[in-house]
Amino acid sequence: MFRRIASAVLKDCKRVFTPQTILCIVIGTAIASFGLHNIHQRTGITEGGVLGMILLLHHWFGIPAAIASPVLDLICYFAAFRLLGKDFLKTSALASVCLAGWFFLWERLPYFLPDLSGHPLAAAVAGAAFIGLGVGLVVRRGASSGGDDALAMAISKASGCRIAAAYLFTDLTVLLLSLSYIPFRQIAFSLITVTLSSTLLDLVKSISLQDFLRTAGLSTAENDNGSRSEDQA
């Protein structure tokens, strides 16, 4: 019986955690956490949702991101457990662990990027690039880099509003709370970050490198078949 259960669990893990999924989650969380640590935490440019709350807790209470990240994620996942599929929860759990692990690493290493505190626009754009690309890679594999997705779904279900409105609500709420330690001018740049990162996230999510390569390979194969047919003729 134990072997049967172990075999079923192993089979399910192989189905959910494909090499592509694991790779995207590991790389995506590395990129997102790198940007948060090297840009957002140093410049005061914040994010909305759970990522922004991590920065807020780090500022006011000194709670390390490696601790705040999984705790907030678990709260959000628990709140929306019945609304989410099991596969989403499994891959998101992996993403949460990876994000915390990367934060743990970055916080023990020197900063890799120059301080952009004097250049808020550059910080906003660069921060958005890291967040959009990193989170986009994670979301593209059907996971979440944080509890934002779960929280937005819970709010949407409870209030009947659209998911997009729920995302906007969580982002604006955190940005308003961030006014307690970030000047309004920097919050304005944070709005730029939120807008740009969301746009880039959608772009990364919609463009599948695997599909692109498959299409290119198919086109090449079709051209080769066409050439062979012409040669035979």
| Domain ranges across the chain | 21-212
pLDDT at 126: 92
Most trustworthy range by pLDDT among 196-200, 211-215, 229-233: 196-200
Take residue 11 and report the two structure tokens written for it. Answer: 């089979």
- Is 161 in contact with 155 (CB distance < 8 Å)? yes
Q: Phi-psi bin for 27: left (phi > 0), alpha (psi -120 to 50), beta?
A: alpha
Average pLDDT (162-172) is 70
Instruction: Using alpha carbons, select from 194, 125, 145, 111 the residue that is nearest to residue 30.
Output: 145
pLDDT at 73: 79
pLDDT at 35: 92
HSE, CB side, 13 Å, CA atoms: give it for residue 205: 17
Q: Distance (Å, rounded) from C-alpha 35 to C-alpha 103?
A: 10
Per-residue model confidence as pLDDT tens digits over 79-136? 767 776 778 788 888 888 898 899 999 989 998 999 888 888 898 899 889 988 998 8
pLDDT band at 228 (very low <50, low <70, confident <90, very high): very low
Most trustworthy range by pLDDT among 23-27, 66-70, 72-76, 164-168: 23-27
- Mean pLDDT (the chain) is 78
pLDDT at 199: 78
DSSP readout, 35-67?
A: HIIIIIHHH----SHHHHHHHHHHHHH---HHH
pLDDT band at 215 (very low <50, low <70, confident <90, very high): very low
Average pLDDT (145-163) is 72
Average pLDDT (15-43) is 89
